[in-house]
């Protein structure tokens, strides 16, 4: 197969929403008399859909309580990101270089906040396709979100390199048959094992390397 598209996750790859996600989980759990550490977040929650996250970290709650906790976490997160989010310029640069080489680009996120965030930083219209949590029924590590992006692009999974920073995201890409670059933002590359390439930042990757991954 020949590389035709780059499919990038949003949280942790295009923008640094990790501090806001962690803080909103921390505040929500504190209201319930619970605590969470950064290590807990990375191991159990990063890249996880909200409701799945509450089930994982609050296994003693019933379904209604899980829903309430997830909604509270979301409300706190939306308040925190009103202050703005950090953009990973190296990701923007790589995506622009890909477009300059004639490649298609897609942004995906399990988050239902995806479109709003991409529009707020002025890059929504630079993507050929945007797929969000509103478009899929199954969260990562199910590959549905990546498969839908490839379908909308009119490409086979093997023609699309995925950019991911979480265990669930890497697993989803691999299950879907996508080549995958894992971005290790936390110094724990073991969490991204299985990715075709693991880097600390996308400044370490150029389009030539992406093309090599699809040969």
Could you report the per-residue pLDDT of 62-111, keeping only the tens digit for each?
Answer: 999 989 999 999 899 888 888 788 999 999 999 999 999 999 999 999 88
Q: Write phi, then psi, for 132 (nearest 5 degrees).
A: -125, 180
Spatial separation of the C-alpha atoms in residues 209 and 215, rounded to whole Å: 10
State the pTM of this model.
Answer: 0.85
Fold of 18-83: DNA polymerase; domain 1 (1.10.150)
The answer to whether 119 touches 18, Cβ cutoff 8 Å, is no
Mean pLDDT, to the nearest integer, of 42-69?
A: 88
pLDDT at 81: 84
Q: Where are the domains of the chain?
A: 5-16+86-213, 18-83
pLDDT at 25: 95
* Of 26-40, 76-90, 149-163, highest mean pLDDT: 149-163
Is the pLDDT score of 136 beyond 80? yes
Nearest to 160 by CA among 7, 9, 10: 7
The answer to whether 115 touches 130, Cβ cutoff 8 Å, is yes
pLDDT at 17: 87
Q: What percent of the chain has pLDDT over 90?
A: 75
5-16+86-213 shares its CATH topology with 18-83: no
Spatial separation of the C-alpha atoms in residues 85 and 20, rounded to whole Å: 9
By CB atoms closer than 10 A (0-12, 13-18, 19+), residue 15 is buried
Name the pairing type of β-strands 160-164 and 5-9.
parallel
Spatial separation of the C-alpha atoms in residues 10 and 32, rounded to whole Å: 29
CATH entry 1.10.10.10 includes domain 5-16+86-213: no
Token output for 76: 């706190």
Give me the chain's average pLDDT, please. 93
SS3 sequence of the chain: CCCCEEEEECECCCEECHHHHHHHHHHHHHHCCCCCCHHHHHHHHCCCCHHHHHHHHCCCCCHHHHHHHHHHHHHHHHHHHHHCCEECHHHHHHHHHHHHCCCEEEEECCCCCHHHHHHHCCCHHHCCEEECCCCCCCCCCCCHHHHHHHHHHCCCHHHEEEEECCHHHHHHHHHHCCCEEEECCCCCHHHHCCCCEEECCHHHCCHHHHHHHCC
């Amino acid at each position: 197969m020949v590389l035709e598209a780059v499919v990038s996750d949003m949280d942790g790859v295009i923008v640094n929403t990790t501090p806001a996600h962690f803080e909103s989980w921390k505040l929500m759990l504190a209201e319930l008399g619970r605590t969470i550490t950064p290590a807990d977040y990375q191991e159990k929650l990063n890249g996880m859909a909200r409701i799945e996250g509450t089930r994982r970290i609050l296994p003693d709650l019933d379904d209604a309580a899980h829903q309430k906790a997830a909604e509270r976490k979301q409300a706190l997160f939306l308040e925190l990101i009103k202050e703005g989010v950090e953009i990973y310029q190296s990701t923007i640069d790589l995506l622009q270089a890909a477009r300059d080489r004639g490649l298609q680009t897609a942004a995906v996120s399990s988050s239902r906040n995806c479109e709003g965030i991409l529009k707020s930083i002025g890059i929504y219209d630079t993507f050929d396709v945007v797929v969000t949590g509103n478009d899929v029924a199954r969260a990562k590590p199910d590959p549905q979100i990546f498969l839908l992006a490839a379908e909308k692009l009119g490409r086979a999974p093997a023609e699309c390199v995925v950019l991911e920073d979480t265990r669930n995201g890497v697993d989803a890409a691999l299950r879907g048959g996508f080549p995958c670059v894992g971005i290790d933002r936390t110094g724990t590359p073991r969490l991204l094992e299985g990715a075709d390439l693991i880097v600390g930042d996308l400044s370490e990757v150029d389009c030539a390397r992406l093309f090599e991954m699809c040969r």
